[in-house]
Amino acid sequence: MTDTIKSLSALLAEGKVSSVELCQDSLERIQRLNPALNAFITVDADKTLRDAAAADARRAAGQAGPLTGVPIAHKDIFCAEGWLTTCGSKMLSNFVSPYDAHVIEQFKAAGMPCLGKTNMDEFAMGSSNETSFYGPVRNPWDTDRVPGGSSGGSAAAVAARLCPAATGTDTGGSIRQPAALTGITGLKPTYGVVSRYGMIAFASSLDQAGPMATTAEDCALLLNVMAGFDPRDSTSLEREKEDYARELTQPRNQPLAGLKIGLPREFFGAGLSGDTARAVEEAINQLKKLGAQTVAVGLPNSKLSVAAYYVLAPAEASSNLSRFDGVRYGYRTPEYRDLADMYEKTRAEGFGSEVKRRIMIGAYVLSHGYYDAYYLQAQKLRRLIAQDFVEAFQQCDVILGPTAPTTAFKLGEKTADPVEMYLSDIYTIAVNLAGLPGMSLPCGFDAQGLPIGLQLIGNYFAEARMLNAAHQYQLATDWHTRAPTL
C-alpha cells in the first residue's frame, strides 16, 4: 500500500485506483497480520466495502472531497452506528452503538470508509495497551514489546501499514506516546477543537481526539476533517473552520527561518535514555539547518504534572464510569440477589484491575475530608503548569523535547509497578493539563532498532505552525518513511 493519505487521494483523483481496491488491500493485510499484532478488535469487511463502493460512486458523480475513498480505522472509544463499540472493556463487550460520534460523522461526511475498530487500553486507562479485555497489542517493530497506550491499536495499525490513518484519543499522552513507540506521527489538538460527543469519556477535562498517520501533512488533512464546532459538546469551541495545512510549504532554503524553538531544561534531565537524548539532539540540529533558532525555556512545575494528573484524571473517571452499572446497556452479571448486588457484581466482573484502581483513587480524592487536600491542590498545580507554558511561549513559537523517556519496553515489564508505568507519560501529561496542542513524530532509532519520538508543543490554536515545523523536518529526513518488516 502507498503510505500517505495524500498520495492515495491523488491516485483516487486520477482514477488509477478505486476505494474498493484500497480497502480490499487493507482488509487482506489486516486478515494476514492482525493475529500477530492484535491491533483490531472489530473488522467487518462487508460494511467497509459498502462504504468504499459508495465513495467510488460519489467520486464518479463528481461529488468527492479531498479524502473521499481513503480508508481509515477508528479507535474503539468512538461510538459508531452499527459497530461493536467496546472501549477495550468486558463492560461494553456486547454494546453495538445506535449512533455516531461527532468524529465518526465527520469522516463519514468526508467519504472515508471505516476499516474497523482498533484495540486500546480499557477505557483509555494505560500507557502500554496491556489493560485491554481483548489482550495486549504488540508493537510491529518487535512483537515482544508494547506499542504504547492507550491508542496502541491505532498506532500499531498505522505503523504496520494495515491502514493509512487512524483516529486516537489523548488524555495524558495517549496519541503521542504510542506514536513515538511505533514510529508514526500523531497529533493532539488544542482542547475543545475536536468535539468529544460520542467519544466514551475517561477524564472529560483532558480527553481530546486526534489523528494518527505516517506524516505531519496527513495529520493536517485529517484534522481538517475532524475539527469544528459541535453544539452537542459543551466544551467544543465555537471557532471558524481553518485549514491546518495552510502553512505547509515545499522545500526551500531555510523554510523555518524566524521560528523560535523552546528547549525546556526539565525535559532533558535524569530518566531520559541516552539513545533518545542523542536522537532528539540530532533533530534539533536538523531544525537549526532549516533556519530555526533555539532558546532555553523553563517549565518548573512540569515535574509535578504526573502527580497532579493522577489525582485529577481518576477523579473524573470515577464520576464518568459510574454510568456502567448493568442497568441500561453493556455487561450485566448473570446471577444476583437484588439491585445492589447486581451493581457490585457487574462492576467487579466488568472492569479490569487498572480501571478499578483509578475509580478507587478517584472516589478517595473526591471524598469528604480529602477533596481539599488532594483534588483542590491538584487543580491549583494544574493552573501553575499552564502558567509555565504561557510564560515559555512569550519566548518561543514551539516547544521541543522527547515524547517518551525510553523506546518501547517489553510486554509485562512494568505491569507490576503502576507508578513506573505512569512515568512513561512524564513528558506528555503537562500538555493535557494545560489544554495545549502537541504532536509526536519519528526522529530516529535506538541501538535495538526501535523508533524514537520527537515531541513538538504549540501554543493554543497554533496547530498549523507546529505542523509546518514537523512537515519541514520530515521533508529533510526519512525516519517517517521507514516501516517494520512483517
What pTM was estimated for this model as a whole?
0.97
The three grid cell numbers given for residue 304, joined into one nine-digit string = 509535578
Burial class (CB in 10 A: 0-12, 13-18, 19+), 335: exposed
Task: From the candidates 18, 89, 174, 195, give the one annotated as an active-site residue.
Answer: 174
Q: What SS3 class is residue 293?
A: strand
- Give yes or no: 150 in active site: yes
Please give the backbone phi and psi of residue 263, each rounded to the nearest 5 degrees, phi first: -115, 105
Please give the backbone phi and psi of residue 16, each rounded to the nearest 5 degrees, phi first: -80, -15
Task: From the candidates 150, 151, 318, 424, give the one annotated as an active-site residue.
Answer: 150
List the chain pLDDT tens, one digit each, 486 residues: 458 999 999 999 999 999 999 999 999 999 999 999 999 999 999 999 999 999 999 999 999 999 999 999 999 999 999 999 999 999 999 999 999 999 999 999 999 999 999 999 999 999 999 999 999 999 999 999 999 999 999 999 999 999 999 999 999 999 999 999 999 999 999 999 999 999 999 999 999 999 999 999 999 999 999 999 999 999 999 999 999 999 998 878 899 999 999 999 999 988 899 999 999 999 999 999 999 999 999 999 999 999 999 999 999 999 999 999 999 999 999 999 999 999 999 999 999 999 999 999 999 999 998 999 999 999 999 999 999 999 999 999 999 999 999 999 999 999 888 888 988 899 999 999 999 999 999 999 999 999 999 999 999 999 999 999 999 999 999 999 999 998
Using left for φ > 0, alpha for ψ between -120 and 50, and beta otherwise, residue 369 falls in: left
> What is the model's pLDDT at position 272?
94
Burial class (CB in 10 A: 0-12, 13-18, 19+), 486: middle
The three grid cell numbers given for residue 482, joined into one nine-digit string = 521507514
> What is the model's pLDDT at position 108?
98
Which uninterrupted H or E stretch holds 457? Answer: strand 451-458
- Give yes or no: 424 in active site: no
Find the helix packing angle between 5-13 and 19-37, rounded to 10°: 150
Task: From the candidates 6, 75, 117, 188, give the one annotated as an active-site residue.
Answer: 75
> What is the model's pLDDT at position 2?
54
DSSP assignment, residue 190? P
- Give yes or no: 322 in active site: no
